[in-house]
Amino acid sequence: MRITVLGGAGGYPEKDRGCSGYLVQHDGFVLLVDPGYATYQALLAHVAVGDVDAVLVTHGHPDHCADLHPLLRARALSGGGQALPLHSPAGALDAILALDGPAMLDGAFVTHDLPIPGRVQIGPLTVDTMLMPHFLPNAGIRVSAGGTSFAYTGDSGPHEPFTAFAADVDLLIAEATYATEMPPNRVGMLNTAIGAAELAARSGAHTLWLTHLWPGSDPTAHLAAATSAWPGPVEITTPHLTWPA
């Protein structure tokens, strides 16, 4: 299994970095996870629009799904591929899919409600889900294939049950909007780099990626905060970062 970062910013895109977006490839199968703002062009640096086999969206905030729209338009208008399976919490993609009339995207996609909690098989990938605390229903996921696994919190505040859910994963992709301190109105709904590192330590993750950094954040502050709480390998999600390296 190979994972490539397409963005990594939280809230809105920066000059050189789009929002959340991850490309998961295994045995020729291509899964796009959370195609947020400004991730479509980064996607095209790695695969053609018709090569995407399925999409998984953790929740309905546009910084996690807005660039699904140009992907679907490109497939519909170019004839690039069969109907694309879209896996998301029920109703999470309604706003994005309503941007065009039915005729424009007719036959371009088929929706599947993601069971939360539950398990779904997406091609060769086994995806387990857990409901995580956020402003909208948000699915934390664990994806396994070929003897490897990664876990991704989506956007989420601290949630102790996720520790066992993510036990011994090869890679943990964890919400870290802030380095050390959380604004009072976001406590419990988002996380910090320290919180992400503590989760990595408790779960026994092998590698940690800090994601969803607020635009304008200093990545070195996030890295310093994380490494103060966990000695393992830590990276900031920047476009085209890959795992395994």
- Of the residues 27, 34, 53, 63, only one is catalytic, namely 63
Known active-site residue 63 = yes
Q: CA-CA distance, 179 to 130, in Å (whole number)?
A: 25
Nearest by Cα to 65 from 28, 38, 102: 38
Q: Give the strand pairing for 29-33 and 54-56.
A: parallel
- Let me know the angle formed at the C-alpha of 151 by 145 and 156, rounded to the nearest 5 degrees: 155
Residue 169 has a CB neighbour count (10 Å cut-off) of 23
Burial category of 5 from C-beta neighbours within 10 Å (exposed 0-12, middle 13-18, buried 19 and up): buried
Q: CA-CA distance, 7 to 2, in Å (whole number)?
A: 16
Q: How far is the first Cα of the chain from the last one, in angstroms, to the nearest whole number?
A: 12
Catalytic residues: 63
